[in-house]
Amino acid sequence: MGTRNPSDDANTSRPPGPTSTPTPASQASHLALKTDIVVIGAGQAGLSSAYHLQKRGLAPNRGFVVLDQSPRAGGAWQFRWPSLKLSTVNRIHDLPGMRFSEAVDTDAAEVEASVAVPRYFAAYEEAFGLPVYRPLKVKVVCDRGGRLRIETDRGGFSARGVINATGTWETAYIPEYPGAGRFRGRQLHTRDYRTAEEFAGRHVIVVGGGISAVQLLDEVSRVTTTTWVTRRPPEFRAGPFTEERGRAAVAMVEDRVRRGLPPDSVVSVTGLPITPAIEAMQARGALNRLPMFDEILEDGVRWPDGTVVRADVILWCTGFRSSLDHLAPLMLGEPGGGVTMTGKLATQVSKDPRVHLVGYGPSASTIGANRAGAVAARELMAFLGLM
């Protein structure tokens, strides 16, 4: 297909029909499409947004498209470690209009999450005919005077509005500590983890106080010696996670993003649930936590009081940051490092109402992403006069 200017008529510049499998390079290497709304990301938040855009009357391609940089359906789930099973993940909430159980045998609790969730997302995209194009990496979004220009590694798009659902998986966070460059062992992040067995016979320092940190600490401590280090003392939560607790946690995160502050991590406002696995870890001493060290040595780490722990591996379970670099030309950020959000569920960017962030701040959970997708679709279409 020849390259066309994005201002050309949508009917003549429309690329071939999207698919849950990678779009052939011969068909998608030079895309140039003029549409109303571009959804960036095809995870839970992106698919929810796309569903509601279509339900409210936008036509695929002419009205909206979804751009996804992953090689296949599944969002970040397709990259999770193999030992993460359906039985060990937080609940996978149904996307609107199709239950998870319609695509995946939910009784098979030991199915890998990296297999089950992509299977569900692929079935969902096909069932509703969502116009998902992949793999397309969005490099930058720019203001072109009334419209937004979305540049990808395989062509450009022109849109009136953007729903950004890029999540955090691409922006792993590892804090800087003196001496990190001279450590002779291995350093890796949660996103690099595959199996605990590869660390057998090595001493592993696990850094981080979130749910993923505890899950990986559990696995690794079963096959080798470990040291658990966190910046703050972990807060363990007894009892069920009630709706009241959930609303309170969301309200705290929402308050921050409405004030333009970076959203806190979920565990910082919810705490760690005490599960049978947690109790077993406590019984075998795996949860004997130490405060953060202040220096990394060639063969370990050191604390301010001079205490040294030798280590072969440092596993940084220190979370992620929102993947928003491609939006930098729009200058949406605040001096405090966040983005000021507005709208019913705090998905609309205050500085540019043509842009919505879903899966950001209070909508970072799977159920939150579903609700945010519906609200973002409605609010953006109303703002653009598409309703």
17 vs 313, higher pLDDT: 313
pLDDT at 366 over 90: no
Section 91-99 average pLDDT: 84
Q: What pLDDT was estimated at residue 266?
A: 58
Q: What pLDDT was estimated at residue 32?
A: 58
**Any alpha helices (H) in 23-75, and if so which ranges?**
25-28, 44-55
Of 148-152, 171-175, 273-277, 364-368, the least confident: 364-368
Domain 180-235+271-316: which CATH number of 3.40.50.300, 3.50.50.60, 2.40.420.20, 3.40.50.11540: 3.50.50.60
Distance of CA 140 to the CA centre of its chain: 18
Does this chain's domain 10-170+320-383 share its CATH topology with 180-235+271-316? yes
Q: What pLDDT was estimated at residue 106?
A: 66
Kindly report the average pLDDT of the chain as a whole number: 86
pLDDT at 16 over 50: no
Burial of 333 (0-12, 13-18, 19+ CB in 10 A): middle
Tokens coding 30: 């030079």
pLDDT tens, 217-247?
999 999 999 999 999 998 888 766 666 766 7
pLDDT tens, 55-94?
999 999 999 999 999 999 999 889 888 888 776 665 567 8
pLDDT tens, 296-310?
999 999 999 999 999
19-53: b (≥16 Cβ within 10 Å) or e:
bbeebeeeebeebbbbbbbbbbbbbbbbbbbbbbb
Task: Give dist(CA 228, CA 46) in Å, integer.
Answer: 35
Q: How many other CB atoms sit within 10 Å of the CB of residue 193?
A: 23
Q: What pLDDT was estimated at residue 15?
A: 39
109 vs 20, higher pLDDT: 109
Residue 130 — very low, low, confident or very high, per pLDDT cuts 50/70/90?
Answer: very high
**Any alpha helices (H) in 323-365, and if so which ranges?**
none
If you average pLDDT over each of 234-243, 266-275, 282-291, which comes out highest?
282-291
**Helix pair 44-55, 366-383: axis angle to 10 deg:** 40
Closest CA to 211 of 172, 261, 268: 268
Closest CA to 70 of 91, 47, 52: 47
350-372: b (≥16 Cβ within 10 Å) or e:
bebebbbbbbbbbbbbbbbbbbb
164 vs 3, higher pLDDT: 164
Q: Which CATH architecture has domain 10-170+320-383?
A: 3-Layer(bba) Sandwich (3.50)
Each domain of the chain, given as residue ranges in start order, spans 10-170+320-383, 180-235+271-316
